[in-house]
Amino acid sequence: MLTINNVEVMYDKVILVLKGMSMVVPKGKIVALLGSNGAGKTTTLKAISGLLKSENGEVTDGFIELYGERIDVSDAETIVKKGIFQCMEGRRVFKHLSVEDNLIAGAHTRKDRKNIKSDIQKVYHYFPKLEMLKHRQAGYLSGGEQQMLAIGRGIMAKPKVLLLDEPSLGLAPLLVKEIFGIIKKINEEEGTTILVVEQNANVALSIADYGYIMENGRIVMDGTVDRLLSNQDVREFYLGMG
């Protein structure tokens, strides 16, 4: 349903970062995009969500489609309205607003305003901790709680496709496990399609249906999770196993 076809991305009209990037994210699935630092994973997410333009980046070749409709020509606001939402890093929630007001703000692009209350309850169902903290200013939350809030804001936008950029970043292993468990639950209960970028390949593959590995601006390997887990190179270079 979401397809990236041979996409090239340049920053500042000279720095070529994506060099023929192609991948498919099927409806209702969780796809993991893995790879080392600087491979172009974040750039791929920004190309999809239209956020490249604010960083002087552009898609210079190839195209991106959602349900067969080109979206690489649209601006970020339009892409959100079409149903693709990129979760901000946890550290980028509105620090001076309460947890609940952050959630309400997450719904601002929606047309159906009347279900906002029940969707806030839905977020609390996935993240009971956020309900306990609902009146707290977001700036006082721990890193893990802010990450939960960032994902909660994603739920409020009711996207068809949720893009997550390194949800494990800076979090203790137990919390990473908890958050990935919740991501899986959102996928199963809401039917939300999820594309998750991760350097922590082990945890991403533990919930994904399919994985892509990216190096130097393009995909170098892809497959079902079983296939990737049984590949010796993947085990050695990305999973830290012998």
- Which of 42, 231 has the CB closer to ligand ATP? 42
**Shortest Cβ distance from residue 51 to ligand ATP (Å)?**
10
Quote the least distance from Cβ 27 to ligand ATP, whole Å: 25
Q: Residue type for 196, please?
A: V
Q: Which two tokens stand for residue 100?
A: 């609940």
42 contributes a contact to ligand ATP by CB under 6 A: yes
Interface with ligand ATP, residue 11, by CB under 6 A:
yes
Stretch that binds ligand ATP, among 40-48, 71-79, 109-117, 229-237 (CB under 6 A): 40-48
CA torsion through residues 165, 170, 175, 176, sign:
positive
Residue with Cβ nearer ligand ATP (54 or 115):
54
Contacting range for ligand ATP; rule: CB under 6 A; set: 34-42, 92-100, 140-148, 176-184:
34-42
Q: What CA–CA distances, in Å, run from 13 to 10, 18, 39, 206?
A: 6, 13, 19, 38
Strands (E), the chain: 2-11, 15-25, 30-34, 57-66, 69-70, 84-86, 161-165, 193-198, 210-215, 218-224
Query: Restricting to residues 183-242, which ones interact with ligand ATP according to CB under 6 A?
Result: 199
